[in-house]
Amino acid sequence: MQVYNGVEIVTKKITHTEKQGEIEPDSDFIAEDFCLQAIVYIEKILNTQRVPIIVGGSNSYIEKLVEDSVFMFKYKYNTCFIWIDVEQIVLNRKVEMRVDQMVNIFIPDADYTKGMRRYIGVPEMDRYLREETNIDEDDESKKMLLQSSIAKIKRNTRLLICHQLDKIQRLINEKMWLVHHIIATDVSKRDRKEAIDEAWMNTVLQPCLDIVKRFLKSDDHNMIIE
């Protein structure tokens, strides 16, 4: 638990099993699984008079949770959506730097059609890693294959960013979600840790806390923070 300006923030992973706290790499944790687990934890947290916070990387999972009539989420709960955004040209540069630095998980003969191994990064490197031992270290084709694999990861990640942005705009414009838009571009432009921390506090964290405080203090909610 962390406390910021009187707001208690309790974090908990939503996973297959509460005991293990993680998902097996080969398992497919589909949107329905996420929704079922999310509802369980939301109720547990609400029963302790705390506020559940859902942090999502997948807009599809969040949309399924909120809009699906089976789960009745938007009829049972009041919601406050916060979208932390970064200017796309800055985000693209960060993506390329991240790809150049990352190390991918590779297991020979692994199934890349399910679980975490189907995500961006691993499948694109499959051909290079399989061929690496069959190509001379000095062979130019090895370098070309590596460069091609890395380029595919970068391209696919940029496409994913565009798709995610389109989904968010659709949720706002078509589904009429009220979404608070926080611009975090300034944080991404900083290099020193101290500057990053300061920018994060001033341009992201504090504005988000202010939004949550207003949400909790509104007359439509039973929970009140001091």
Q: Which residues of the chain have pLDDT under 70?
A: 1-22, 25-26, 57, 101-139, 219-226
| CA-derived radius of gyration, the chain | 21
* pLDDT of res. 168: 93
* pLDDT of res. 181: 95
Identity of the amino acid at 10: V
* pLDDT of res. 199: 92
For 24-47, how does the pLDDT look when each residue is reduced to its tens digit (9 = 90+)?
A: 766 778 889 889 989 999 999 999
Nearest Cα neighbor of 43 from 35, 55, 52, 53 is 52
* pLDDT of res. 204: 94
93, containing H or E segment: helix 88-101
For 126-148, how does the pLDDT look when each residue is reduced to its tens digit (9 = 90+)?
A: 666 666 656 565 567 777 877 88
CA distance 161 to 194: 28
* pLDDT of res. 150: 83
Nearest Cα neighbor of 53 from 208, 214, 201 is 208
Handedness of CA 121, 127, 133, 139 (dihedral sign): negative
All residues at 6 or more sequence positions from 22 whose CB lies less than 8 Å from its CB, including other chains = 13, 15, 16
| DSSP letter (8 states) at residue 192 | S
Residue where the block lists tokens 């840790």: 193
